Chain A
Amino acid sequence: MHEWSIAYGLLASIKDTYGTSIRYVKIRVGKLVQIDIEIFKYALDEVAKLLGFENISYDIEIEDTKFRCQECGYVWSWNDVLKSMESSIQDKELLKTYLEAVHLVPSTIYAYTRCPRCGSPDFEIIEGMDVKVVEVRK
């Protein structure tokens, strides 16, 4: 499960940087990554025990993913992309594979979407692309 790998990477980097005395972590998760939040929370708890954190708590914020076209300036969201993929890809197994690709490697969204207004592949992901730590407290 990718959630375990992300949980391990986040907590191991916190341990390396600040030690295990951290008591609170706020994590922001972009919708694009399609993380299963329940699995992620469970993975964080288990990895925290493994790495020697005691009494650590988390807040997990979900952030919508926004795209902006570099050609025409149009802004659209992950839900727009998802709807478009679901309606254009009839083969459900193929759709599942493509969504798995974005889950593992979010940048692969560039293989599946274009600007809904002008069709350009030249767009930015202006928010909600990653999983990142936005606050830690002792």
Chain B
Amino acid sequence: MSLNILDRYRKSIEDCFKDVKMIILVCSGKGGVGKTFISTGLAWYISEEYNDKTVGLLDLDLHGFSTHRFLNIEVPVKDFEEEKGPLKIRENLHYFSPAILIGDNPLPIRGHYREKAVLDILSSVKWNVDIVIIDMPPGTGEEVIIPCRYLKSKSYAITVTLMEPVSIKVTERLVDILKDLEIRIIGVVYNMTNYRGLNLFKVSTNTLLNMYKICEIPYIDCVLDSISRSRSPYTECVEIKTYLKPIVDRVIVEFEKLSKG
């Protein structure tokens, strides 16, 4: 009998996410646009503001994992045990990142090994939460395609871009691909809009992305300052919450629609 069609991951992945109602892929076309800041902040503020909701944060940026820096978690976590599930940052905020296991060792994987790593992470970590937010690497590689393949019915996307023509163009391509993958797009966030004169493009930008726009977020000085002092910016910079609120609200609206069936 042909064994090529056997997929040992599908049922395990479905099982790991069976309690999850909503998965949010935080994506971008290009790197350095602030996905990690936004995905981690979303998880942080939803879990802080909504005690009745449990949130998971999964870092799938296999080459550039850095959510632990935003949460100020020391890695590796020596007593991590897979059977206990993700780390509990607070009662309703659960967390998993490759950094928990490998610390800050570089992980130079590509191709088949990268695909396997995504499959193994998705099929090993069981999430008992309402919403899982996934921090993605830039682009549309394995980390984006594989969750879409296995978890499409629960998946939504938020894309992040700078307000400049190069990033916007690549993000438009990303949105096209996400639509082809039948992923519902919650919206687009324009980040660091006051940075190095990028706001000059604000007026002249006439883009298809505008129909998806959730909000604009300026460059916030204290974010990197907090991280450089080994602090979480979400506990130190009070203004972040205000800037992320439109995204939090949009996610909650979509979540409530789901709950109402």
* A9 B9 Cβ-Cβ under 8 A: yes
* B124 A105 Cβ-Cβ under 8 A: yes
Identify which of A1, A9, A110, A132 contacts B113 (C-beta below 8 A): A110
* A134 B109 Cβ-Cβ under 8 A: no
Identify which of A2, A98, A129 contacts B124 (C-beta below 8 A): A2
* B82 A100 Cβ-Cβ under 8 A: yes
* B8 A129 Cβ-Cβ under 8 A: no
Contacts of A108 in B (CB 8 A): 98, 101-102, 107, 117
The reply on A60 being an interface residue by CB < 8 A is: no
* A17 B116 Cβ-Cβ under 8 A: no
* A104 B120 Cβ-Cβ under 8 A: yes
For the side of the interface on B, what is the size category? 35 or more
Identify which of B1, B3, B101 contacts A105 (C-beta below 8 A): B101
**Given A8-B15, A105-B121, A107-B117, residue A100 in contact with residue B10 (CB < 8 A):** no
For the side of the interface on A, what is the size category? 35 or more
**Given A2-B124, A110-B109, A131-B8, residue A105 in contact with residue B98 (CB < 8 A):** yes
* A111 B107 Cβ-Cβ under 8 A: yes
* A133 B116 Cβ-Cβ under 8 A: no
Q: Which residues of B contact A (CB under 8 A)?
A: 1, 3, 5-12, 15-16, 76-83, 98, 101-102, 105-109, 113-114, 116-117, 120-121, 123-124
